[in-house]
A and B are shown apart, each in its own frame.
Chain A
Amino acid sequence: MLKVESLSVGYGEREVLKELNIEFKKGFIYSILGPNGSGKSTFLRVIDKILKPNNGTIYLNGKSIKSFSASQISKIIAYLPQRIDILPFCKVLDAVFLGRKPHISFEPTSFDLEIVLETINKFGLSKFAFRNINELSGGEFQKVLIARAFAQKPEVLLLDEPVNHLDPKNQIEILKLIRKLTKDNNILTIIVLHDINLAIQFSDYFVLMKNGRIFKFGDLTVIDSDTIKEVYEIDVEILEYNGRKLVLF
């Protein structure tokens, strides 16, 4: 459903992504792993057409994303950046409502309202719906952001480090929810994660990036100590327990 062909991206002179070739399928979660500066966030931005590539093409449902307008893209792809620079004073419900923006032609319909309320419910945010977002805890706030992306009803969901700065309970809860919604709605989810063990637990495929290139791509079998050593430059041990892998640092 999403195909990337010999994609190169640069900021000015510096080339950040080099010759990426990859194909993503619907209904699966892909984790993008790699050290800081390996081009993970840039990759998500190019897919969402916020950045323009120097070279190469991205195909969405068989059509080049160049042929889509920004508003058409926003109906298909939802993107959650790593950082939100500023926090507006607004209610949780209004924040989730913003996710419907690409679909609203003049004012929201009752269908839009229905989706927003359902999403709020799904994310367990009903209690907070009329609270200001600056009064929420880190975990609740992150849920609001992801709920906004889901309210967009995307076919492709791009999440840049969605569980950073959260406690383990919230990390697990949010990733479980993302996994469930990905499977239930048969959408494509691409997540940038730093925690390899969380990635192993919640994703179907792994994209390991280094220096702007895709170092390795595949299912759980690509995660081995040699690969991790090569990508992150650290020595690790990998344990197998009940068919699950655990990376020990």
Chain B
Amino acid sequence: MRDFISKTDKLNFVEPSLRKQYLKSLYFKLLVGLLFFLSILIVSIISIKTGSINISIVEIYRAFFTETENSYVIWNLRFTRVVAAILAGASLGVTGAVMQNVLRNPLASPFTLGVSQGAAFGAAFAIIVFGAGQTHYYGNEAVTVFNRYLIIISALVGALLTVILILFLSFLRNITPEAIILAGVAISSLFGAATMFLQYFASDFQVAATVFWTFGDLGKAGWVENKLMFIALSFSLIFFFLNRWNYNALLWGDEVAESLGVNTKFLRISSMFMSAFVVSVCTSFLGIIGFIGLISPHIVRIIVGNDYRFLIPYSALCGATILCISDLISRTIIAPEIIPVGIVTSLAGAPVFFYLLLKWRRI
């Protein structure tokens, strides 16, 4: 076998420069990752600094080691928020990259399987039927008490229900990616209608609560939620990263992938399950945060190309960066009011996406 390699062509022998160029492109891609890391770090620091109380960088640094004046604000308000943004952004970004691959569709996102509508239905069910958002009247004053964990668990069940339905369908009939997408659309509309049905019979307060729940809001996260999101994200990131060459092969279609030793059916189903699970966890904790899962992989693709060795970690980093920036905007743009971050990502994401489409036309 070795002689095939050692025999060199006399024509067009440009091999040494090729190797150099290859290494150069590799270094460039690694540099991009470093820049993503740095931007997350910088935005996080700005985010922790900024707010109704301004905190100096020195104090943030000190707060990691000792008790300071604003320790509580840093640790329990700002830092939790930033960590939630990084975890949720990374989850949405990486699952977007994976879903676009296994469903062979550039418009696929973590919500393609109907996770968001499922979660919204679950939350509405908890609020309206289980009375998780009950309103008590004291004279003229009304106080709404939310049973947060009941809502979270119910949303998670709703989200996973859609996924299991679709995965069961695709496992049973071995249906094509196109059919899976259509099934996702159908199930989304089914759960959307079910949510509206519940809302129709609910009180004004309950309807408002269910609508408000759907706005993705990082303020809902605490350390418990962050820990759970971290665990879910870590598992899926490892799984996705180990399959990076399989995703690269799948880019060429099922037949090529199978001839390269990929079990396409298993890869597709397990990837969809992993993606949907991670996103279900994020969505049931925080609400629906749109657009990040769709846009992050495309941004990374434009910068480093369609190579899942880089797309997987970088889509996660890109998603985290975007969500951190969006969160900063949502907290500062009409301060002291905080807009739910889901509104910012969708409002700002759409124009950015149009710009990318027009500029590169390669998506």
Contact = CB atoms under 8 A, between A and B. Distances in A.
Interface of A: 45, 48, 50, 69-75, 77-79, 81, 84-86, 88-91, 93-94, 98-99, 101-102, 104, 107, 113-115, 117-118, 120-122, 124, 126-127, 129-130, 152-153, 181, 184-185
B260 A98 contact: yes
Contacts of B136: none
A74 B12 contact: no
Interface residues of B, number: 39
A-B interface, 7 closest residue pairs, ranked by CB to CB distance from nearest: A74-B261, A71-B261, A88-B251, A79-B259, A85-B253, A126-B14, A81-B255
A93 B248 CA distance: 13
A115 B306 CA distance: 22
Interface string B93-115: 00000000000100000000000
Contacts of B104: 86
Given A121-B9, A126-B15, A153-B1, A50 B253 contact: no
A129 B258 CA distance: 25
Given A48-B258, A90-B251, A117-B18, 16 more contacts: A45-B255, A70-B261, A72-B261, A78-B259, A79-B259, A88-B306, A101-B249, A102-B260, A104-B245, A113-B22, A117-B19, A121-B8, A121-B9, A126-B15, A129-B21, A184-B4
Nearest to A86: B253
Contacts of A181: 4
Contacts of B7: 184
Interface string B239-273: 00000010011011111101111110000000000
A85 B260 CA distance: 16
B5 interface: yes
B260 A118 contact: no
Contact of A185 (B4, B255, B256, B307): B4
11 contacts: A79-B255, A88-B306, A89-B301, A90-B251, A98-B260, A99-B260, A101-B245, A124-B11, A126-B18, A127-B12, A185-B4
Contacts of A122: 9
Contacts of A185: 1, 4
A114 B15 CA distance: 9
B79 to A, nearest CB: 35
A72 B251 CA distance: 21
B4 A118 contact: yes
Contacts of B13: 121, 126
Contact of A113 (B19, B25, B248, B253): B19
A118 B22 contact: no
A101 B252 contact: no
Contacts of A113: 19, 22
Given A104-B245, A118-B4, A81 B256 contact: yes
A45 B63 CA distance: 63
Given A102-B261, A126-B14, A94 B307 contact: yes
